[in-house]
Amino acid sequence: MWCMYHGKLPAGDMTVPRALSLARLADAYAIENVLLAATQWLNQQASLTCDDALSMVSAPYGVCERLQERALDRFREQLGDLDLAMNITWWRGKLMALPEAALIALLSDDRLAVAAESTVAATAVYWSEQQGLETVPDAVAGCIRLRQLHPAGFIATVAQYFPQWTPRMLALLWQSIAPTTWTSLELFDEVPQVLLDTSDGLRRASCISAAKVKATVSLSAIQARMSRIEPKGGIIRDQRPTPRYYGGYWWNADFALCFTNPGVCSVDVIVSTANGDIGDYMCACVQFLCNGRAATDKLVRCEELHSGFQVFSNFFDIELKDGRTDSLEKWANKSGDISIEVIIQLR
């Protein structure tokens, strides 16, 4: 009541939650002078916590429309690099909690940095799943810059979430990847509006230009698996590796044993994504780096990746027999662990 009669906020200690509460009440009861005073105070704050910004963009429309740009500036400070934000659990949670209007404003912003446009598509899918939606809303899907999303790549893995991407749209997109043909889309009959409306602007590049993951296994773990009464191949690890987000995928690398004959096996390396097996839709370059016990023992391999689950067989070109791991010792450190750094870069 005091605010309504005086047309300003109390001179005492004012906080973002308190000002936001006043703005909500003023909006609900159409008290314009209080709503104006509260939102002006909020927009004048030099700094906002992420929780404060999230509360602001989650406010009713009458309040949010006056605050959204100021709140989104706070999100852009931390979420401006989408691949980086997705790798930080806390920020990823805040991103998934954004209201639809705030997510649209963020994903459509030309200042947003990504490693690839597939990052934007994947974020839209993850957000929709968090909201309990089976498909991505049209307005969110409209933020994806289809010209930068190769139809034979990531688009094939997520098309089920985008009813807007009809077979005709994908066919036309395939024909119009080249810059010289993109502008001629309007010459086609019945071009889907989603294709005509997509932005052709290039986004800023993420600071994450490749996924860097590590696979580690101990010689003792290999020996224990080989020494079983009924040895069994498959993934072998001492602890679960930490996946890395890049380009719309969660990347992993693991060691595995492959038994070629009774008592004879080799060590494989598996590069996979948490997105599941996506067949031959991926195109990436993979570099493997392994430092041995001696300074001169260095292994570097470059391979092509065409699947969301690809096995690089007999990685060390060594056959292990009779439960012995002696031949692998040159690739282990003094603690008996073998580590391989894996660098994946999408093409």
CATH number reported for the structural domain that contains residue 241 in this entry: 2.60.210
Residue 104 falls inside a structural domain = no
For residue 188, pLDDT over 80 is answered with no
- The pLDDT value recorded for residue 257 is 93
Q: Both ends of the chain: CA-CA distance in Å? A: 61
Residue 196 falls inside a structural domain = no
Domain of 328? 211-346
Contact criterion met (CB below 8 Å) for 265 and 226: yes
Picking from 163, 154, 185, 183, the residue whose alpha carbon sits closest to that of residue 172 is 185
Residue 271 falls inside a structural domain = yes
Q: Based on the structure, what is the number of domains in the chain?
A: 1
- Give pLDDT tens digits for 193-214: 777 778 878 899 999 999 999 9
Residue 229 falls inside a structural domain = yes
Q: Give residues with Cβ within 8 angstroms of 33, minimum separation 6.
A: 3, 4, 7
Residue 251 falls inside a structural domain = yes
Name the strand (E) or helix (H) holding 140. helix 138-141
- The pLDDT value recorded for residue 3 is 53
Q: Give residues with Cβ within 8 angstroms of 52, minimum separation 6.
A: 16, 17, 20, 71, 74
Determine phi and psi for 286, rounding to 5 degrees: -120, 130
pTM: 0.81
Residue 22 falls inside a structural domain = no
Residue 188 falls inside a structural domain = no
- Give pLDDT tens digits for 109-155: 888 999 999 999 999 999 999 999 999 999 999 999 988 886 556 77
Residue 242 falls inside a structural domain = yes
For residue 192, pLDDT over 80 is answered with no
Determine phi and psi for 270, rounding to 5 degrees: -115, 130
